[in-house]
Amino acid sequence: MEWKIEIKNKRGLFDPLANGVKKDINDLGIVGIKKPSTAQVFIISGRDR
């Protein structure tokens, strides 16, 4: 069995990594991104009882 766990910042908190990625995307000429966000994703595999 596998479980997926996503950890995100609370809404409204500054996310410097997401804003840096937004700037990099804008530098590539892609525009229109309004509210970037990041998350940590963990995939856990194991036996179910």
| Each residue's pLDDT tens digit, 9-30 | 998 899 999 999 999 999 999 9
Helix (H) or strand (E) holding 39: strand 39-45
Q: Give the separation between CA 17 and CA 36, rounded to whole angstroms.
A: 9
Percent of the chain with pLDDT over 70: 100
- Position 25: which residue type? I
Q: Where are the domains of the chain?
A: 2-45
Cα–Cα distance measured from residue 5 to residue 2, given in angstroms and rounded to the nearest whole number: 10
Residue position matching structure tokens 């995100």? 8
Distance from C-alpha of 18 to C-alpha of 37, rounded to nearest angstrom: 5
The answer, as to whether pTM is greater than 0.85, is no
